[in-house]
Amino acid sequence: MLRSTVASVLASLLLVPLVTSPAHAAREAPRLPEAVGAGGVVSSVDPDASQIGVDVLRRGGNAVDAAVAVAAALGVTDPFSAGMGGGGFLVHYDARTRRVSTLDGRETAPASADADLFVEDGAAIPFAEAVTSGLSVGVPGTPRLWQRALQRWGTYSLDRALRPAEDLARRGFTVDATFNRQVTDNAARFADFTSTRALYLPGGAPPAVGSTFRNPDLADTYRELRRDGVDALYRGAVGRDLVAAVRQPPVVPGATREVRPGDLTAADLRRYDAPRREPAQVRYRGLDVFGMAPPSSGGTTVGEALNILETTDLGAESPVQHLHRFLEASRLSFADRNRWVGDPAFADVPTHELLSQRFADSRACLIDPAKALTSPVAPGDPRNPVPCGTSGEPAATPYEGTDTTHLTVADRWGDVVAFTLTIEQEGGSGIVVPGRGFLLNNELTDFSFTPVTPGVPDPNLPGPGKRPRSSMSPTIVLDHGKPVLALGSPGGASIITTVLQVLTGRLDRGQPLVQAIAAPRASQRNTASTQAEAAFLAAPEAQALRDLGHRFTSSGEIGSVTAVERLPDGRWRAAAEPTRRGGGAARAVRPSRP
């Protein structure tokens, strides 16, 4: 149980120095994976962004004020994963009402989109060509989500919340190895757009590690949003420039890459909203776990997997059986996710039934402790669950870009925000809006290009104004109405398995939070072979899992978690990755030792 294991923590902490200048934070403050203290905490992938969040909390802002400020800062320092050209999902806990709410800032397809958006001459276009195009750009949702969150729960105006990020973009920050690598990995396609090349390949090369990177165009764009509100994008000049970049991508003369234009219009921008949705919720080990409901599949898939795992006392199982059951629950919940989850405005998504314990029990009985299932496993029927039964043909898990980001915040009053945001692929579409300093998303490639299984209804085909299915899984866990844990991760479809693995490590196995985050990862998504990090494959449990029939494929890093948890004495712990993506940045307003 979490309350009985939360005292099992690392013996000592390196405390965070008090830093007021975000320009100096990256040089002076290390990328610490853990911070404990009072007054509130922030965890993100970047020291500058986390420090900005802590400064907001220190000055009296609440968790939502800090989350928006951190997200805007990540648009400066982590622009290849997130920014105002993308979208996201926010889960919020209000300490006064003890209520969890969610906002859906997922991008939408243009009104002209249909099921054949990515089909030419009867066949799907190559995925890489869809990514680097105007065709894949959805209406950005992040700025509208910022506005809605501040209106509902914040104390800051958008003007005040964006000011630190504008200052950071104008003053600059120190380029690290991750930033340099991301530009280097995308240099070929960045070089094919005049605006992207000018910003990220100055002099024809990526910004050097240790150099100062400034983005005055983005600073000016933030200033415009501060002055005019998000109407600057959804009804104003920023939006006009965005539409022009989508419809006539700024391709370098003579470039040989085929870059398809999109059909996004000013009317599509005007119609956009970031609606409030009821969260996905399950009861697990006496705790209430809240996540994001469709069009994200995160809440339903994590929730179903937890319900499947609840039929076993994971804390009493061997390490091998714990991992075996984690992988099998992931396999089964992905089978159901692929068949049933899409945009609820366009598909009849059985959210309640997917989250029912009755349905989970009908799937859990397929797990054999002595033998792994063989993927692809057919889905179940959540509306008519039959013990150990399946329904219809299995559906594969389409590829999703992995370069998202997540931030987690708690404030002095006990409010909590888990916020996952993205532009989809690393570098999104590759198109910087000329004169505006931000990359456009390629989020529409999260749609199925064609039906995943011929003859089987696919809830995730493109459509006019439709939101593509997501795997983002911002999650908040409550114990008797009070928060004990909040977390999330980037990683495309592996977000779901990453969040699930950390939850089981922390809640069931009693691992200290940083240890649960640092543990080697594997991601089973109803595929014949499970992706696994090298450290996972090197562990002795991997061979025992192979003996049970699991097959593995070596992968790079899986996910990059940030999290916060409430300690029994009322203080908070912020936790982040020790090494993945170069390490995260946990910060506390008033740091102290545990």
Cβ proximity of 526 and 375 under 8 Å: yes
What is the distance between the alpha carbons of residues 355 and 290, in angstroms, rounded to a whole number?
A: 11
State the pairing for strand pair 404-411/34-44: antiparallel
What is the distance between the alpha carbons of residues 280 and 91, in angstroms, rounded to a whole number?
A: 10
What is the distance between the alpha carbons of residues 575 and 247, in angstroms, rounded to a whole number?
A: 42
Reported in sequence order, the residue ranges of 111-229 that DSSP labels E, i.e. its strands, are: 119-120, 123-124, 173-174, 212-213
The distance from CA 108 to its chain's CA centroid, rounded to whole angstroms, is 17
What is the distance between the alpha carbons of residues 290 and 1, in angstroms, rounded to a whole number?
A: 18
What single DSSP character describes residue 290? E
End-to-end CA distance of the chain: 19
Site of tokens 């398995």: 497
Tokens representing 286 are 């006496």
Tokens representing 537 are 């494959």
Residue of 142, 221, 300, 404 marked active site: 404
DSSP string for residues in 456-473: S--TTS--TTPPPPB---
Give, in degrees to the nearest 5, the angle at Cα 434 between 77 and 182: 35
Classify the phi-psi angles of 143: left when phi > 0, otherwise alpha if psi is within -120 to 50, otherwise beta: alpha
Site of tokens 């750009």: 137
- Any alpha helices (H) in 252-297, and if so which ranges? 266-271
What single DSSP character describes residue 314? G
What single DSSP character describes residue 385? -
Cβ proximity of 121 and 393 under 8 Å: no
Torsions phi, psi of 587, nearest 5? Answer: -140, 145
Site of tokens 């319900």: 307
CB-facing half-sphere around the CA of 413: CA atoms within 13 A? 17
- Any alpha helices (H) in 319-376, and if so which ranges? 319-340, 351-354, 357-364
Is 404 among the catalytic positions?
yes
Cβ proximity of 85 and 433 under 8 Å: yes
Residue 382: which of 358, 357, 355, 353 has the closest Cα? 353
Residue 271: which of 234, 303, 317, 319 has the closest Cα? 234
Name the residues annotated as catalytic: 404
